[in-house]
């Protein structure tokens, strides 16, 4: 049910962390995967890894804060791999500060990537699906922080709350076009970027406060990703799904 043979996927923010994981999972399920990020040196390594495992991948330079770069990147991906069927809108950044200490530059950095960038990537891919009269799946990577406040991540949470609303708006507007738009909301997940933190005193205290006193692993997101990307999710549209071990329910 969850095979993606014959489909083309685009994953933004694919150079590290969850984006890298999403790309390898989609490729292993049979999708042709366009991997996009600003850091093209790391994309080359991921492209080689996917191809070595028998998959199909194509690296695309894309800065989601630049609309022209988005348009050019999507065009390059479709030229190389064919029309996009699945978008994993994953690019994101965080600035860890109390709200009173946020500068305009800090605010713009978070919002331009997490909300504005995500909107224009989804708009570009979604409009191409509409123009081609092709069904598609857009998966926005939001966060539990968009569902409840996280200390020192207020603006990040604001951007993800906006992404959640954007998901519902697009799902409603594009439903008749046979395009599904859903959001995954990961909680605390161990990645290469934060692995050391969970060994610190502060990290251990945070783990002790979680509902089941554990942090998720990247592979814990695989099942939902494959469901939403596949034809098995044909009746799922506008869903906002936490993957946080119950943290947002508390």
Identify whether the C-beta of residue 243 lies closer than 8 Å to the C-beta of residue 221: yes
DSSP annotation string for 191-215: -TTTGGGGGSHHHHHHHHHSTTS--
3-state secondary structure of 121: helix
| Residue in the block written with tokens 């123009």 | 131
For residue 47, give the nearest of 69, 70, 31, 24 by alpha carbon: 24
Which residues participate in catalysis according to the annotation?
156
Q: How far apart (Å, rounded) are the C-alpha atoms in residues 196 and 199?
A: 6
């Amino acid at each position: 049910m969850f095979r993606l043979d014959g489909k083309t996927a685009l994953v933004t923010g694919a150079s590290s962390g969850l984006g890298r994981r999403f790309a390898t999972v989609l490729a292993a399920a049979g999708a042709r995967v366009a991997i996009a990020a600003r850091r093209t040196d790391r994309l080359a390594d991921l492209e080689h890894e996917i191809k070595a495992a028998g998959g199909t991948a194509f690296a695309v330079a894309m800065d989601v804060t630049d609309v022209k770069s988005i348009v050019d990147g999507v065009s390059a991906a479709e030229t190389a791999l064919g029309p996009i069927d699945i978008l994993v809108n994953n690019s994101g950044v965080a600035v860890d500060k109390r709200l009173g200490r946020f500068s305009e530059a800090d605010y713009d950095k978070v919002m331009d990537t997490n909300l504005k960038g995500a909107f224009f990537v989804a708009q570009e891919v979604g409009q191409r699906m509409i123009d081609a009269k092709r069904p598609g799946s857009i998966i926005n990577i939001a966060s539990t922080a968009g569902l409840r406040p996280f200390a020192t991540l207020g603006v990040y949470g604001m951007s993800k709350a906006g992404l959640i609303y954007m998901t519902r708006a697009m799902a409603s507007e594009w439903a008749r076009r046979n395009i599904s738009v859903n959001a995954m909301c990961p909680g605390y997940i161990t990645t290469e970027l934060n692995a050391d933190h969970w060994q610190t005193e502060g990290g251990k205290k945070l783990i002790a406060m979680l509902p089941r006193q554990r942090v998720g692993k990247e592979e814990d997101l695989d099942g939902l990703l494959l469901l939403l990307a596949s034809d098995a999710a044909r009746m799922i549209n506008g869903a906002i799904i936490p993957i946080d071990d119950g943290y947002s329910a508390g």
